[in-house]
């Protein structure tokens, strides 16, 4: 763990193992921290806050810029570590390292743009000045599916704003988190400004983060269930909260779209990170008249997606994170089959030969999906593409919006009016219009409803770490 500028063991001396999800190989052990360790980390961040928040935006920007440079220099080793620890194909890891580094560069720049305002007063002898200041100590909890970019998307803006931090990475991917902390140390981050507590059991750490009054903000990325619990606890302590949670993205193909182009897009997007992405399309709405052409292309594409170890040439889908994830995906497919769906590609676990020691599920297409099937209303988080046929384009937005989730949605159309109408009517935070990658460090990322509160990245990303202060000056 990293507390107050030093690499330390847990006070209990306990450690937990980290394994490769593709092979079961033991990659190392990490300290198994508890509430006491979290308390020490918060104390360090609290002590460091006055100093760090008093640095100039230019000094903080320089540290972030150096960290970006180091991340870029180390991108090959970071990508290899990610594939070993998280399982995604090396090309996807390389892309994530670049995406993760982008947040450091973006917020190195944004640090210098935290501005204030002069406001008009009704009194001639009064002036108002509104400024923005860092909120204080930030506690961050991050997931395993994007084990580097989900850290930098929080650390970039928090540090740029002048906050200090305590981070708990996911228990499945602490080695990636350690590598990012090493980069910040080499970039010259002062002692205590960033702290990391690793633990096999996240509950005591989460309880400490949300009950300690020295923590002024909780930022969480992960499942809706855990996010709801932590946000509730943090709110009762009046901590500020940002939570990036699960999704259940609709992917709407309109009758005027090119079904082949749309199916290629769906196949490319659905299997990213083995479907373990919060913005992964989970409901492919296809009009009856395009169903055959769309499904044919989708099936042909998915048949070519190769599952395997992320280091192997040509592999497009790595393992799932653990046995529970495989069981969840498997149960959704069993339920869909039992209720009449067809499974023209994939449909089951991969367990033989090279798959024997990993958590693999075959790239799968499910057709004939109906609203009574679990897959039509629950996040899958696996490599399964469910196709739902529809009749009336006037009703498809309502079908798409019929969920409590509100993270990402996708639309395929060649008509600009349809595109704008859908963009405005879909109740989701991120809409891809003929676009399967509507994300960037420069763009606000986040959801509505059960998908969370707040935005990360873009100009909005730093606002989450700033308080507004008003000065009234009588002359
Ligand atoms: P998870 O909620 O199980 O775990 C996320 C993090 O929370 C981990 O660090 C974990 O250790 C910690 N955690 C779990 N229980 C906790 C508790 N009781 N107290 C404190 N911390 C606790 O989620 P996951 O399985 O790691 O991630 C997958 C989920 O994350 C999916 O639902 C996905 O959609 C979502 N996700 C969302 C975004 C987004 O930006 N909206 C991005 C990536 C992932």
Q: Is 299 in the same domain as 365?
A: yes
Whether residue 289 sits in one domain with residue 215? no
Same domain, 238 and 308: no
List the residue whose alpha carbon is closest to atom 27 of ligand 1.
Answer: 222
Task: Give the pLDDT of residue 81.
Answer: 98
Number of domains in the chain: 2
From first to last of its 475 residues, the chain has per-residue pLDDT tens of 999 999 999 999 999 999 999 999 999 999 999 999 999 999 999 999 999 999 999 999 999 999 999 999 999 999 999 999 999 999 999 999 999 999 999 999 999 999 999 999 999 999 999 999 999 999 999 999 999 999 999 999 999 999 999 999 999 999 999 999 999 999 999 999 999 999 999 999 999 999 999 999 999 999 999 999 999 999 999 999 999 999 999 999 999 999 999 999 999 999 999 999 999 999 999 999 999 999 999 999 999 999 999 999 999 999 999 999 999 999 999 999 999 999 999 999 999 999 999 999 999 999 999 999 999 999 999 999 999 999 999 999 999 999 999 999 999 999 999 999 999 999 999 999 999 999 999 999 999 999 999 999 999 999 999 999 999 999 9
In a domain, 65, yes or no: yes
Nearest by Cα to 68 from 143, 180, 161: 180
Pocket test for ligand 1, best of 220, 226, 246, 281 (most atoms within 8 A of CB): 226
Of 163, 176, 278, 379, the active-site residue reads: 278
Atom number in ligand 1 closest to CA 280: 34
Q: Are residues 106 and 218 in the same domain?
A: yes
Determine, yes or no, domain membership for 465.
yes
CATH of the domain at 372: 3.40.309.10
How far is the C-alpha of 143 from the C-alpha of 219, rounded, in Å? 12
- Position 446 in a domain: no
| 244 labelled catalytic | yes
Ligand 1 center to 146 CA (angstroms): 11
Question: How far is the centre of ligand 1, averaged over its atoms, from the C-alpha of 444 (Å)?
Answer: 20
Residue 9 maps to a domain: yes
- For residues 241 and 262, membership in a common domain is answered with no
**Catalytic member of 85, 244, 379, 456:** 244
In a domain, 417, yes or no: yes
Substitution candidate for ligand 1 out of 199, 223, 245, 409 with most atoms within 8 A of CB: 223
The CATH number of the domain holding residue 44 is 3.40.605.10
- Compute, in angstroms, the gap from residue 99 CA to the centroid of ligand 1: 20
Ligand 1 pocket mutation, candidates 141, 142, 143, criterion most atoms within 8 A of CB: 143
Residue 101 lies in a domain: yes
Span from the CA of 12 to the centroid of ligand 1 (angstroms): 25
Residue-range definition of the domain harbouring residue 291: 249-440
* pLDDT given at position 165: 98
Residues whose beta carbon lies within 6 Å of some atom of ligand 1: 141-146, 150, 168, 170-171, 202-203, 206, 221-223, 226, 229-230, 244-247, 278, 379, 381, 407, 447, 452
In a domain, 35, yes or no: yes
Do residues 55 and 187 share a domain? yes
Q: Is 278 annotated as catalytic?
A: yes
Q: Do residues 379 and 464 both lie within one domain?
A: no
User: Quick one: which atom of ligand 1 is closest to the CA of 325?
Assistant: 25
Same domain, 353 and 238: no
**In this structure, what token pair is assigned to residue 102?**
């982008």
Q: Which residue has the CA at smallest separation from atom 41 of ligand 1?
A: 244
Same domain, 139 and 255: no
Domain shared by 21 and 68, yes or no? yes
Closest ligand 1 atom to Cα of 451: 41
- Residue 445 included in any domain: no
Query: For residue 341, how far is its CA from the centre of ligand 1 (angstroms)?
Result: 30
In a shared domain, residues 403 and 268: yes
Residue 248, pLDDT score: 95
For residues 379 and 239, what is the distance between their CA atoms, to the nearest angstrom? 28
pLDDT at 120: 95
- From the CA of 295, how far away is ligand 1's center (Å)? 32
For residues 176 and 321, state if they share a domain. no
């Amino acid at each position: 763990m990293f507390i107050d500028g030093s690499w330390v063991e847990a006070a209990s001396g306990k450690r937990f193992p980290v394994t490769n999800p593709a092979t079961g190989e033991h990659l190392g052990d990490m300290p198994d921290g508890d509430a006491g360790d979290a308390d020490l980390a918060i104390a360090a961040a609290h002590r460091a806050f006055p100093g760090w928040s008093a640095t100039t935006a230019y000094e903080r920007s320089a540290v972030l810029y150096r960290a970006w440079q180091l991340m870029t220099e180390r991108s090959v080793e970071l990508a290899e570590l990610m594939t070993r620890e998280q399982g995604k194909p090396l090309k996807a890891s390389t892309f994530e390292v670049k995406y993760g580094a982008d947040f450091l560069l973006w917020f190195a720049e944004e640090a210098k743009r935290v501005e204030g305002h002069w406001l008009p007063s009704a009194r001639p002898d009064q002036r108002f000045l509104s400024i923005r200041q860092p909120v204080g100590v930030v506690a961050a909890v991050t997931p395993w599916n994007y084990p580097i970019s989900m850290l930098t998307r929080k650390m970039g803006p928090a540090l740029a704003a002048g906050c200090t931090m305590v981070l708990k990475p996911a228990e499945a991917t602490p080695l990636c988190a350690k590598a990012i902390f090493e980069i910040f140390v080499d970039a010259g981050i002062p002692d205590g400004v960033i702290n990391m507590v690793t633990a096999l059991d996240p509950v005591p750490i989460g309880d400490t983060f949300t009950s300690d009054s020295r923590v002024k903000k909780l930022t969480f990325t992960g499942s809706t269930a855990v996010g709801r619990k932590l946000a509730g606890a943090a709110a009762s302590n009046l901590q500020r909260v940002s939570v990036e949670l699960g999704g259940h993205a609709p992917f709407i193909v309109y009758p005027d779209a090119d079904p082949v182009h749309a199916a290629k897009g769906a196949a490319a997007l659905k299997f990213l990170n083995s479907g373990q992405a919060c913005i992964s399309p989970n409901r492919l709405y296809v009009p009856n008249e395009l169903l055959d052409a769309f499904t044919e292309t989708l099936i042909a594409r998915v048949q070519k997606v190769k599952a395997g170890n992320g280091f192997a040439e040509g592999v497009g889908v790595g393992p799932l994170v653990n046995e529970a994830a495989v069981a969840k995906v498997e149960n959704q497919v069993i339920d869909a089959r039992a209720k009449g769906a067809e499974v023209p590609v994939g449909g089951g676990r991969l367990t033989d030969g090279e798959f024997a020691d990993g958590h693999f599920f075959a790239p799968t297409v499910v057709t004939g999906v109906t609203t009574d099937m679990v897959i039509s209303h629950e996040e899958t988080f696996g490599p399964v593409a469910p196709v739902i046929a529809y009749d009336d384009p006037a009703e498809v937005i309502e079908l798409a919006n019929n969920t409590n989730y509100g993270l990402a949605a996708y639309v395929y159309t060649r008509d600009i009016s349809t595109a704008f109408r859908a963009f405005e009517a879909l109740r989701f935070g991120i809409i891809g219009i003929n676009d399967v990658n509507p994300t960037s460090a420069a763009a606000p990322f986040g959801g509505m409803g059960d998908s969370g509160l707040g935005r990360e990245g873009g100009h909005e990303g730093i606002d989450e770490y700033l308080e507004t202060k008003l000065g009234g000056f009588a002359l």
